A and B are shown apart, each in its own frame.
Chain A
Amino acid sequence: MFLEQGKISNLQLSVLITGFVLGSSVIIPPGQGAGHDAWIAVALGLMEGLLIAWIFTALARQFEYKTIIEINSLVYGKILGKCISVLFIWYLFHLGALVLDNYARFFKLEIYPNTPKTVLFLLLMLVCASTVGRGIEVLARCSVILVPLTILLIPVDTLLLIPHIDLNDLMPILDVPSEKLLWASQGAASFPFAETVAFLMVLAFIDKPEKGPSAVSRGLLIAGFFLIMAVARNAAVLGPMAVITNYPSYLMAQVIDIGDILTRFEVVVGITLITMGFIKISILFYGTVLGLAQVFNLSSYRPIILPVGILMVILALTNVGNTLELFEFAYKSYPIYAVPFQIGIPLVTLIVAKLRRLPQTGGDQV
């Protein structure tokens, strides 16, 4: 079954992963629970994320880069395999709705208090859906332009904020109790690093499969580096405020002042960050529709883009009641909720596949 003809290069894969990881994490930085040691939590999370990435790329490599849906059918048989695939697709779908909700809520709260949230949802979804309709190749090409431009914001912001940085805010290092730190780092691993498990739907289309794992980890490392930079900077600029505010990266941009001429350009920062969200939502949405098409043996995923897109918007609109609930979910429940999808499915599938000696090396499966 060939639903997608496009191929993406390994460089594009790395860039996609970087954009994906930085997606909503630049708006809601991970590791908040660890206070001013958040950056350590993020670093630990990055390591766990790399481990998880190693598991799922090993799984993909074991099956010569098929999508997770095809792998599930091979490993568990048709019916059980499809059930597990549907669970995985649910995770992508739900996560897509969460990211969408994150972004729309952020804009509603901080920039457009008078604009109906539905409009923001629909517009974001529309542009993601139309890109997904053009295929993974187009999305990858967009990312090559968008991600470097947007990532530049982080070091530039940091440079402009140097007068406000107080490194004493980061002291003393490793001050928080270790269980709190570990919990925060599990939070940072599950959001955003291990979410790259969604790339089990994308890895099938890279053009140099033998270098796939290094491309994935390269993307994760770059994203991790900039994320640690952003989180540490937030703490150093805002001090204790960084933990209290919902959107520290945004709040921080308010402080920037270039010779009294360029001031208050947090709006620009906030809006530029859409581009990363665009990539994250598009990848998750792409995984959902491609997965559904593969589960139901459709010849193309394009006809289900519109209905699934609408469903995603509806889920995002009704998912959580208010912003506090969303944060509660993100920081308290999500690190556990995500485990079966991020580690469970790939790891168990890999073990079962090894035990059943799949795929058979008879060469009959092409």
Chain B
Amino acid sequence: MFRLLSKKLRRWQILSSKDQTQTKPDRSPVYLSKNLEGNLQILREVLGQSSDVIIREMKISSDSNVDAAVIYIDGMVDRNLLNRDILQPLMFNLQLIKDHIRQNHSSLIDFIKSSVLTVGQITGTEDIDRVISDVLKGHTAILVEGVNQTLLIDAKGWETRGIEQTTNEVSIRGPKDSFTETLRTNTTLLRRKIRDPRLTFQSLQIGERSKTDVAVVYIKGITPDSLIEEINQRLKRIDADAVLDSSYIEQFIEDNPISLFPTIGYTERPDVTAAKILEGRAAILVDGSPMALTMPFLFIEGFQNPEDYYAHPFFASLIRWVRLLGFILSIYLPGVFVSLKAFHPELFPTPLLVSVAGAREGLPFPVVLEALLMLMLFEVLREAGLRMPRSLGQAVSIVGALVIGQAAVSAGLVGAPMVIVIAATAIASFLVVPFADIGALLRLLMTIVAGFLGLFGMIIVQLEILSYLAGLRSLGVPYLSPVAPLNIRGLKDTFLRAPLWAMDSRPASLNSPDMRRQSPDQMPQVPKTESNQGGNQ
């Protein structure tokens, strides 16, 4: 069903791309001249009259004819650094530079680079496009009269949000830091967790206008090369105007263009990202987004939570089952209630049937309509609660609680059992966050089908969903693995969470070239001698 739709979509896409005859303009690179004034002219033209572009001209030698200019964008450059390590050395070393010019004029720019400036990252270039793009990135460019080269200095510095506590994925025992909007901060957070020299941040720029920095993160030798290649291919295909968040990337590189279920995971936690990379996955960090993408994302990951690995294995396994149960409840409960009420009332235990039937006495709507009404009302409340300014949010929840909980029942619009069912569903739906969105859709679908065909319809829809999931892939890995296709060793981290000392290999479904995670015989043991003596006495 979905394939048909996606085929239509693709055809439509191909048709529309045929109309679009314009291609990217293919310009040959423009190089700098030796004339400072001319170079500045070009730069002024390109960068326009923006008030944040600063072009500071100066003299750098006591000879009158050696001018220079520093170009940067105000607000994207660390002012302290600029003043102390770039402007000051340039302008205070008049004599030094003059001496140098007298001896050897040709390598003036190299001299400045090697002996004058006291900053870390400096590169030289002749390509004017590169100068413009780097200045827009926050670099500082230095142009000197008589030299057809420019120095680009990385002196970026701007106001950022600091590293804060996680807000969406809270854990009790684990680390509390979360990613920020700055790519460099995020890479640092990861580097500090994995000090392996093979940890690689492979960066590229995406977005015709936004020119967003994107970094693919992986560990060489653990992440399969084919995966990296595939990710790179997909990333290179993106030809978008702007990438404002990592979710933009997600939508462009997903396996299934209109997938119902997420096939790429996201997290705000560095520890989760590090763990996934260590399992043999790859991550993508996007500048300007506090969410890292992890891939491949499998169905079972939706039920895993960082807390699982920090908590006791038995408890973690129990919570896994609770999550699974919550997910199942959140999708099926209203549908099951509706189909029991409408088609199979004999399945209710008799006392319950009596009370349910009694509660429905005199209600105006059929049970499906009642369920749909309450479900929609819940979705409305949820959305309102999310989007409202925080000060108004409380009013919404009070009104919601009153309307749903009390007024609707006493006004005779819905029965009290239905309220309980919907409330339980609503709470259960928050247990598995990655599938909360799709859960809401499936819930509505199941309820409607249950109203028409009872349990039979529900199981037919369920079979279709299962076969859809079984056919889904995330970067080539079957979505339902390690359950289907079955991999017994992979089951250590699915329905049960084995103790950490027992998880000695990486998940097999990810095809990591280096399967060994740790040595296999690490079960903690009681020292033999003492315990034996204790037992004998």
Q: Is A329 an interface position by the 8 A CB rule?
A: no
* Bound-complex Cα distance A130 to B480 (A): 18
Chain A residues in 8 Å Cβ range of B463: 127, 131, 142, 146, 274-275, 278
- SS class, residues of chain A in contact with chain B: helix
Interchain CB contact under 8 A, A141 and B464: no
For residue B45, give the distance in angstroms from its CB to the closest CB of chain A: 56
Residue of B nearest to A279 (CB): B463
B interface footprint on A329-362 (CB within 8 Å = 1, 0 otherwise): 0000000000000000000000000000000000
Chain A residues in 8 Å Cβ range of B467: 127, 130-131, 134, 138-139, 142
Interchain CB contact under 8 A, B349 and A261: yes
Q: Which of A9, A260, A268 contacts B347 (CB 8 A)?
A: A268
Q: Which of B3, B350, B457, B483 contacts A123 (CB 8 A)?
A: B457
Q: Is B478 an interface position by the 8 A CB rule?
A: yes
Interchain CB contact under 8 A, A145 and B349: no
CB within 8 Å for A264 and B457 given contacts A11-B486, A131-B467: no
Interchain CB contact under 8 A, B485 and A267: no
B interface footprint on A101-116 (CB within 8 Å = 1, 0 otherwise): 0000001000110010
CB within 8 Å for A115 and B484 given contacts A138-B467, A262-B349: no
* Bound-complex Cα distance A119 to B454 (A): 13
B interface footprint on A292-312 (CB within 8 Å = 1, 0 otherwise): 000000000000000000000
* Bound-complex Cα distance A278 to B462 (A): 12
* Bound-complex Cα distance A264 to B478 (A): 39
State which size class the interface on A falls in. 35 or more
Interchain CB contact under 8 A, B455 and A260: no
Chain B residues in 8 Å Cβ range of A120: 456
For residue B349, give the distance in angstroms from its CB to the closest CB of chain A: 5
Interchain CB contact under 8 A, A267 and B466: no
Q: Is B344 an interface position by the 8 A CB rule?
A: yes
How many A-B Cβ pairs are below 8 Å? 95
A interface footprint on B330-355 (CB within 8 Å = 1, 0 otherwise): 00000000000001101101100000
Q: Is A319 an interface position by the 8 A CB rule?
A: no
* Bound-complex Cα distance A267 to B345 (A): 11
A interface footprint on B445-465 (CB within 8 Å = 1, 0 otherwise): 000000001111101100110
Chain A residues in 8 Å Cβ range of B1: 130
For residue A103, give the distance in angstroms from its CB to the closest CB of chain B: 10
Q: Is B471 an interface position by the 8 A CB rule?
A: yes
Q: Is B242 an interface position by the 8 A CB rule?
A: no
Q: Is A33 an interface position by the 8 A CB rule?
A: no
Which of A115, A134, A141, A260 is most buried by chain B, counting CB atoms within 10 A of its CB? A141
Interchain CB contact under 8 A, B459 and A275: yes
Top 3 nearest A-B pairs (CB, nearest first) are: A141-B484, A141-B470, A131-B467
23 pairs from A and B in contact (CB 8 Å cutoff): A9-B485, A112-B454, A112-B456, A123-B456, A126-B460, A126-B464, A127-B460, A127-B464, A130-B464, A134-B3, A138-B470, A138-B471, A142-B470, A145-B483, A260-B349, A260-B350, A263-B349, A264-B346, A267-B455, A271-B455, A274-B459, A274-B460, A274-B463
Interface residue ranges, B against A (CB under 8 Å):
1, 3, 343-344, 346-347, 349-350, 453-457, 459-460, 463-464, 466-468, 470-471, 478, 480, 483-486
Interface residue ranges, A against B (CB under 8 Å):
9, 11-12, 107, 111-112, 115, 119-120, 123-124, 126-127, 130-131, 133-135, 137-142, 144-146, 260-265, 267-268, 271-272, 274-275, 278
Given contacts A134-B468, A261-B349, A274-B459, 20 further A-B contacts (CB under 8 A): A12-B486, A112-B456, A120-B456, A123-B456, A123-B460, A126-B464, A127-B460, A130-B1, A130-B464, A138-B471, A140-B485, A141-B484, A142-B467, A144-B483, A145-B466, A262-B349, A263-B349, A267-B346, A271-B456, A274-B456
